[in-house]
Amino acid sequence: MNLAKRNRILRASPAIRAMVAENALQPSDLIAPLFVVEGKGIREEIASMPGYFRNSVDLILKEVRELHGLGIPAVLLFVKVPEKLKDNRGKEAVNPGGLMQRTVRAIKEALPEMVVMTDVALDPYSLHGHDGIVEDQQILNDETVEVLVEMSLTHAIAGADFVAPSDMMDGRIGAIRAALEQHHHHGTGIMSYAAKYASCFYGPFRDALDSAPGFGDKKTYQMDYSNSREALLEVSQDIDEGADIIMIKPALPYLDVISKVRQKFQVPISAYQVSGEYSMIKAAGQKGWMDESRAILESLTCIKRAGADLIATYFAKAAAHLIRDGKS
Ligand code: PBG
């Protein structure tokens, strides 16, 4: 054959492929979500997330140092709240001495360079397992936003670099930004879960925090997976209200959403490879049906290719090791 163009030339060797790669995953792209529990020396494996643990604060500090050593710049904190502290108004969520607030302080004290992001939502604190205050089986919006604002302020005071509202109430980004300004927390950022879908892929996470909704589902506040134009609206509103980073969640089934948002907006985009995405890869790997390491690198690189600048993933540590060892 006499071809004018042979595309395989650029795929001929690992060196050439690396030269022309359009995207390369870096540890600095990654955010490690961490689950914190009360106590000391506690490290509990999460049944539906094999290889992932809830840690007490002392062990979280060890974990954070390890992540930092691997070049991972940020952690995203979630706390498991004892049943007796749960209520319908998030009283414990706004406790300046609560587990979240103490964990933030401990990390910033031990390792100030680590970027600390905090989950802002009521579900781990809620008797009902919902992200907001419940009345007559309805999730109240404005009353919830008031608590989220107060909660965010306690995180900012504790030293959080970013608060990350994952609740999907309307108007919360503007309200949080206004309160941060008013209280002179001018340096605290907001990573908004702008397009968060009502997804079955959160199942294992709800096991991790014992936060499954006690009644109904989250479809009156999280987005319908049939929609993507609506995601653009959510993102645009959150940017207008003062979000610094916007998040799309879950990640792999929503690459089209990441890509559309990337084409339209200039802010940094993060994507959350959620618990169910983790557990699927883990389970298939354990069964020998798929190569776990390659699935990790491929899925994360594809999320980046779609347009994500940052990826929150339970594989952060594993991915950083794979990158360091030159795996692809
Ligand atoms: C709740 C919250 C959830 C996740 C992060 N924050 C679960 C939910 O909305 O029910 C899911 C994360 C994951 O599945 O990894 N505010």
Domain ranges for the chain, please list them: 24-324
148 lines ligand 1 (CB under 6 A): no
Closest atom, ligand 1, to C-alpha of 278: 15
202 lines ligand 1 (CB under 6 A): yes
Burial of 137 per CB tally in 10 Å (0-12, 13-18, 19+)? exposed
> Going by CA atoms, what residue is nearest to atom 10 of ligand 1?
202
Measured in Å, residue 2 CA sits from the centre of ligand 1 at: 55
> Going by CA atoms, what residue is nearest to atom 14 of ligand 1?
202
Beta bridge partners of 37: 56
Instruction: Please tell me the distance from the alpha carbon of residue 193 to that of residue 165, in angstroms, as a whole number.
Output: 6
121 lines ligand 1 (CB under 6 A): yes
119 lines ligand 1 (CB under 6 A): yes
Instruction: Please tell me the distance from the alpha carbon of residue 152 to that of residue 316, in angstroms, as a whole number.
Output: 25
**pLDDT value at residue 328:** 72
Q: Is 196 a catalytic residue?
A: yes
Q: Which two tokens stand for residue 165?
A: 């509202």
Q: Is 249 a catalytic residue?
A: yes
Measured in Å, residue 16 CA sits from the centre of ligand 1 at: 40
> Going by CA atoms, what residue is nearest to atom 6 of ligand 1?
166
Which residues of the chain have a pLDDT value below 70?
none
CATH superfamily of 24-324: Aldolase class I (3.20.20.70)
274 lines ligand 1 (CB under 6 A): yes
Measured in Å, residue 34 CA sits from the centre of ligand 1 at: 12
Long-range interactions of 299-302: CB distance < 8 A, separation 24+: 299/251, 299/252, 299/273, 300/25, 300/29, 300/30, 300/273, 301/23, 301/24, 301/25, 302/252, 302/255
**pLDDT value at residue 216:** 95
Measured in Å, residue 205 CA sits from the centre of ligand 1 at: 6
- Termini Cα distance of the chain: 32
